[in-house]
Structure 1
Amino acid sequence: MFHSPAEELREHATGLPFDLVADPEKVLYREWGVESGSRALLSLGVWPVIARAVVAGLRRRDRMPSLSQPNGRLGLPADFLIAPGGKVVASKRGKHAYDQWSVDEILGHASTLV
């Protein structure tokens, strides 16, 4: 789930092994208790990640994200592992913009479903 409009997400969705859900008005964000706030950018660990992403995008000549977005860009990450029956089996709500599960953490949580 992303708080980007569907047209922005489409260009990033090709080949992904999961669905992307556009939620630009953050309706689902609120329903799931996912927060926004200036603290999303307060962690010093966030800035090198943002800089690398911008530089990589410039090198690839990617189209830059729009300068404005409905309801802002200060969303905090939240990860949910949802079992096939719809039960949430694990979750994490981030404290800053780069506070999400690592791939190893995702795989560890997913292994509990097998």
Structure 2
Amino acid sequence: MTDDVRSHRLRPGDRLASFTLETLSHGPLQVPSGGLLHLQFRRFAGCPVCSLHLRSFARGRDELAAAAVQTVAFFHSSAETMRPYHADLPFPVVPDPERRWYGRFGVERSALAGAHPKVVWSAIRGMVGAPSNPFDGEGGKDGLPADFLVGPDGAILDVRYGAHAADHWELEQVIALARANR
């Protein structure tokens, strides 16, 4: 974590320039999309905490649709490594092994990313209840999560930079934020 990375953190009110994402199995995605977007930055492809988290969003896809928000998940792993874990998700996932988008959004790393009791519990639940492998995926195990709610015009409406691997917006929080920003 450097001051340089911290200085590039996005804040509510910042505006994204238009760009296109290449997704794992949903084709190209234009950002901003003309609707509300929840961009979530996860860790490595086999991360059990991440897999458990994303499966909750997959189960909540009807609730997300009712709140008129689309979720997109980023991983700092290759498409090949991600495919066994995330190709079946009902929303776009973006391989980013070079961490290009992580850098653009100011998403950080920490050697202590996995050193929190909530992470341990989530990892155990993820290894049992979601496709995962804690040893599979490029980019190391030190990635931190981040969440962004992006408006139809590219404005950052809300943001959360996680302090540990399980510090992220839950489905209910994303839905509440989407409803509050309609």
- TM-score class normalised by the smaller sequence: 0.7 to 0.9
| Match in the other structure for 2:88 | 14
Matches of 1:85 and 1:10 in 2, distance apart?
A: 31
Query: What is the TM-score with the length of structure 1 in the denominator?
Result: 0.81
Corresponding residue for residue 103 of structure 1: 171
4+ aligned runs moved over 4 Å, structure 1: none
Identity %: 34
- 1:59-82 deviation line (CA, Å, top 9, x unaligned): xxx5x5373643312110000111
How far residue 84 of structure 1 moved from its aligned partner, in angstroms, is 2.2
Answer 1 or 2: which has greater strand percent: 2
Q: How many angstroms apart in 2 are the aligned matches of 1:113 and 1:47? A: 33
The reply on whether 1:36 has 2:136 as its aligned counterpart is no
> CA deviation digits over 1:41-94, x for unaligned, max 9?
11111101111211235xxxx5x5373643312110000111222221111000
Q: How many residues align?
A: 108
> What runs of 5+ residues in structure 2 fail to find an aligned partner?
1-73
Name stretches of at least 5 consecutive residues in structure 1 with no aligned partner: none
Normalized against structure 2, the TM-score is what?
Answer: 0.53
Question: Which has the bigger relative contact order, CA under 8 A and spacing at least 6?
Answer: 2
Match status 1:71 vs 2:139: yes
Q: Which moved more, 1:7-16 or 1:87-96?
A: 7-16
Backbone CA RMSD of aligned residues? 2.0
